[in-house]
Amino acid sequence: MAGYVAIARIGPLPVTAFSIVLLAMIAAFLGMRLYSVLGKRTGHEQEPVLPRRDDRAAPAPIRLDDGDAPALAGPAADTAGLVYEPAAEAGLRQLLASDRNFDAGRFMEGAEAAYRMILEAYWKGDRDTLRDLCDDDSYDAFVEAIAAREARGETLENRLIGIDSAKITAVEMSRGEARVTVRYHADISAVTRDADGKLIAGSMSDATATDDLWTFRRQIGSNDPNWLLDEAESA
């Protein structure tokens, strides 16, 4: 009987003590689970500093010959899956070191929109739009060409059919200014008419493939977030 009584005295733990032990066991189990998850790469870690196009939603290529197409489409898709060429990576990292808010994907969305807007403004002789999107030298060159065309009485009926691809090819940093060069492969239908409306050159039914290199610049740290066209040339 004495032995029985002794066992009875060390029977069930008080409710409070048992709860503490149970909570400690649960905490230990959760801790092991968290370590097993956080200690592994799951594919959801912070994105690379330089975004890849295949990590972004892949929109359809810009097709402006479609009457129902939106005024501004996203970056044109391409098979390489990058918004920059490998040779530009070092320059992009240097730019990111100076401007942590720079995003190559968003920049390319704006660069493709600027390409369309600047071309259409030049074709229409829209000096105000060119003034907003170009630096002084580029603006002066466009305006000079527009003035010469107007003096001849010529008009352009050009259309940007589509941007096949657009990539950053080079990035330069100098004295706090960034210059980013973009290569565009696009299809353009071009028609030139004289003062009487007679066709001088081109055809609306045949698109011409273009290979253009445009360089945009912006002062790092400026309150103005816009990039301006600095140079435009055919590759």
pLDDT (0 to 100) of residue 202: 87
Token code pair at residue 71 = 């005024």
46 in a domain, yes or no?
no
Q: With left for phi above 0 and alpha for psi between -120 and 50, is residue 41 left, alpha or beta?
A: beta
Instruction: Please indicate, yes or no, whether residues 115 and 84 belong to a single structural domain of this protein.
Output: yes
Give a yes or no: residue 100 inside a domain.
Answer: yes
Q: For position 235, what pLDDT does the model report?
A: 72
> From residue 132, how far is each of 67, 119, 158 by CA, in Å?
26, 13, 21
pTM: 0.66
Whichever domain contains 72, its CATH number is: 3.10.450.240
- The answer on 105 and 145 residing in a single domain is yes
Rounded to 5 degrees, φ, ψ at 61 are -60, 150
CA 1 to each of CA 4, 9, 156, 170: distance values in angstroms, whole numbers, following the listed order: 5, 13, 113, 92
Range of 19's domain? 2-38
Q: Give the model's pLDDT for residue 170.
A: 97
Distance in angstroms between the alpha carbons of the first and the last residue of the chain? 103
Give backbone dihedrals phi and psi of 57, rounded to 5 degrees, phi first: -60, 135
Does a structural domain hold residue 224? yes
- Residue whose C-alpha is closest to residue 231's, from 158, 156, 160, 179: 179
pLDDT truncated to tens, each residue of the chain (235 aa)? Answer: 444 333 333 344 455 555 555 555 555 544 444 333 333 333 333 322 232 333 333 333 322 233 333 333 334 334 357 899 999 999 999 999 999 999 999 999 999 999 999 999 999 999 999 999 999 999 999 999 999 999 999 999 999 999 999 999 999 999 999 999 999 999 999 999 999 999 999 887 888 999 999 999 999 989 888 999 999 998 7
Q: What local confidence, expressed as pLDDT, does residue 8 receive?
A: 36
- The residues near 92 (Cβ < 8 Å, ≥ 6 apart) are 50, 84, 104, 168, 171
Question: Do both 228 and 200 map to the same domain?
Answer: yes
Asked whether 167 and 210 are in contact (CB, 8 A), the reply is: no
